[in-house]
């Protein structure tokens, strides 16, 4: 079941004065797919069936558009490790049983850590491990270095969860000066309430919140009609 997206008209009006990017330059754009891993999207779980799995077709459409226009495609994986610098603080490890379970399975080499097989990942696509909610915070990942190397200044955020890793990454990208597009129907949270709250906050200051169809129109206007991934 897709999210029921509900952003008030007053918020949309104000948002247009903050972040409203009418064009993108494909060579300087990257679609960043956040944490769509087996451990989060195991078929049969309530979260996966209700919101996670239904966004995969839209994410693949964005990937196809990026490839058709020469934009970058980058996949992030939530990762846990006891290595120095990237390990969690002791209290963070004890927050809840669910965190303990994720720390157990989201490790390199565990199938749960892998990107979900229904996503169109190609050999050579960057797949970057991240150790914090935001991919840009200190000691979290090599995403920023990879984007700088490619000359990227514009991000299109998709993935899960809307209000946790996607939002954290988008906010920090904005703080670093990136233009941020955030997809309303190619991101997923555990509830409609959490999803819409994140979209509202992001649209107020940090990102241009758009549907997948809107993003595809921007890619098409930039020079190519998206094809299959």
5-27 pLDDT, tens digit per residue, is 998 888 888 888 888 899 999 99
CATH code of domain 26-221:
3.40.50.850
Q: How far is CA 103 from CA 73, 96, 100, 127, in A?
A: 26, 11, 5, 19
DSSP code at position 220: H
Can you read off the two tokens belonging to residue 33? 């797919």
pLDDT given at position 225: 47
Can you read off the two tokens belonging to residue 196? 């819409």
Residues 21, 156: Cα–Cα separation, whole Å: 12
Question: How far apart, in Å, do the first and last CA atoms of the chain sit?
Answer: 24
Vertex 139: Cα angle to 188 and 156 (nearest 5): 35
Residues 18, 198: Cα–Cα separation, whole Å: 16
pLDDT given at position 11: 87
208-218 pLDDT, tens digit per residue, is 999 999 999 99
Does the pTM surpass 0.75? The reply is: yes
User: Which segments of the chain have a pLDDT < 70?
Assistant: 45-47, 49, 224-229
């Amino acid at each position: 079941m897709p999210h029921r997206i509900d952003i008030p008209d007053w918020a949309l009006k104000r948002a247009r004065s903050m972040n409203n990017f009418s064009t993108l330059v494909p060579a300087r754009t990257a679609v960043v797919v956040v944490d769509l891993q087996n451990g989060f999207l195991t078929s049969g779980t309530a979260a996966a069936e209700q919101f996670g799995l239904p966004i995969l077709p839209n994410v693949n459409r964005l990937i196809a558009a990026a490839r058709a226009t020469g934009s970058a495609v980058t996949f992030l994986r939530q990762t846990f490790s006891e290595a120095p610098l990237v390990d969690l603080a002791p209290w963070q490890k004890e927050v809840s049983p669910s965190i303990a379970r994720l720390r157990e399975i989201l490790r390199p080499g565990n199938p749960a850590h892998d990107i979900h097989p229904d996503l169109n990942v190609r050999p050579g696509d960057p797949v970057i491990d991240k150790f914090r909610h935001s991919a840009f915070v200190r000691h979290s990942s090599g995403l920023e270095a990879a984007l700088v190397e490619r000359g990227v200044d514009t991000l299109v955020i998709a993935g899960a969860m809307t209000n946790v890793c996607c939002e954290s990454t988008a906010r920090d990208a904005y703080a670093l000066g990136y233009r941020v597009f955030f997809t309303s129907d190619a991101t997923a949270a555990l509830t409609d309430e959490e999803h819409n709250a994140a979209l509202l906050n992001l649209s107020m200051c940090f990102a241009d919140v758009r549907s997948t169809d809107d993003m595809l129109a921007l890619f098409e206007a930039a020079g190519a009609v998206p094809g299959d991934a």
